[in-house]
Copies of this chain bind each other. A is one copy, B any other.
Amino acid sequence: MSVLELACEPCVEILKEGGISTKEIDAVLFSSCATDQYSSAIISEMLGIHPKIVHRVDNLCNSGTNAITSAFAMIASGLCDTALVVGAEKGKGPGNRLLWDITRGSFMLPPQWAAIFAKAHMRKYGTTEEQMAMVSVKNRKNAARNSQALFRKEVGLQDVMNSRKIAYPIKLLECSAPCDGASAVLLLSEQRARRLDNPVFIKGIGHQTNSASLAKATSELTRIDAARSATSRALEMSQLKISQIDIAELHDAFTILEIIAYEDIGFAKTGEGGKFVNQEQIIINPRGGIIGCGHPVGATGVAQVAEIASQLAGKAGMRQVRHCANGLVHNLAAAGSSASVIVMGV
């Protein structure tokens, strides 16, 4: 399947079951790193819909949440009543290398970057290889209950620890895998959404972009400052405290990123992310995270939002989490230089 055919799949389901006619879609925003031109209009054509606004949004691994933010803004500003956001990617797409870093003589491949953060966190806070490996064990366990996940076989601690070393201390089973994938979300104006059963609302949005150069990305390689800024903005807008978040999708492209995310978001104190892996109060990455689901780059942020929306609406099927009212999505791009955080609630 082409990336455009892939993109249509989840849209067809939404159009079938979303209680909306093709005539009512005001915008189609396509999130992808694919280089196809004019792709959002072609997807609209393939779906037989004629929206007002169509364009593609791209910002590498957080393209998806950028598209969600654009759609939110178009609705909140009154330009649209409804917006279909669809993310899709081919595993062999162009989004898997950090090409711009070539010009800086730096790292092209994401695992090398993640290894630097992992080593810094181990050195400063005593985080262990086993704690990082446990992130993969947990997320693969969740993925086993997700029919849409790329990896549906559980792995044990020793499987992860013994998997191929990629860039010390990162091991193969601690890395997300590029793959084909697509996800779509339909955004409606508040007024329209309130007419539906179990609507879920975007309550807060925060973004931050820091330097794309690793040397300046952060003065402290144990944290991702962009994620901290994005989180505080999203929480402020939502008027919620972090203690009120019941469920979260965190950007676990590598295990260390989930541990750092616990701290950046404020689920754990700085330095205590390693120990936080085994907690069970806040449900983290119920669909299996990026490690379990695979990482179709432009689709990932959309899939994260779709998961939290399904959970909050009570429509997550086999992996439904009980009693969740507020959720959070944390989506990074390009060596943590960009971060998006979206807070949702019922």
Contact = CB atoms under 8 A, between A and B. Distances in A.
Interface of A: 28, 33, 35-42, 44-45, 50-60, 63, 66-67, 69-70, 72-79, 94-95, 99-100, 205-213, 229-230, 233, 333-334, 337-338
The 3 closest A-B CB pairs, nearest first, are A76-B77, A73-B73, A55-B59
A42 B212 contact: yes
Given A74-B70, A79-B205, A52 B212 contact: no
Contact of A52 (B70, B77, B233): B233
Contacts of A77: 72-77
Contacts of A206: 52
Nearest to A340: B53
11 contacts: A41-B59, A50-B210, A51-B209, A52-B233, A53-B207, A56-B59, A58-B58, A70-B73, A73-B77, A76-B79, A77-B77
Given A56-B57, A73-B76, 5 more contacts: A37-B58, A38-B333, A50-B208, A52-B208, A55-B57
Contacts of A333: 38, 41
Given A35-B94, A52-B233, A59-B38, A211 B79 contact: no
A237 to B, nearest CB: 8
A333 B38 CA distance: 9
Contacts of A56: 56-59
B54 A209 contact: yes
Chain A contact residues, majority secondary structure: mixed
A88 to B, nearest CB: 15
Contacts of A94: 35, 37
A56 B99 CA distance: 16
B72 A38 contact: no
A143 B32 CA distance: 37
Contact of A209 (B35, B50, B66, B73): B50
Nearest to A27: B207
Contact of A337 (B41, B72, B75, B210): B41
A335 B338 CA distance: 35
Given A76-B78, A94-B35, A55 B45 contact: no
Contacts of A53: 66, 69, 207, 209
A334 to B, nearest CB: 5
Nearest to A38: B60
Nearest to A339: B52
Nearest to A94: B37
Contacts of A72: 77, 79
A65 to B, nearest CB: 10
Nearest to A217: B45
B41 A209 contact: yes
A33 B37 contact: yes
Given A79-B69, A212-B42, A212-B45, A99 B37 contact: yes
Contacts of A39: 58
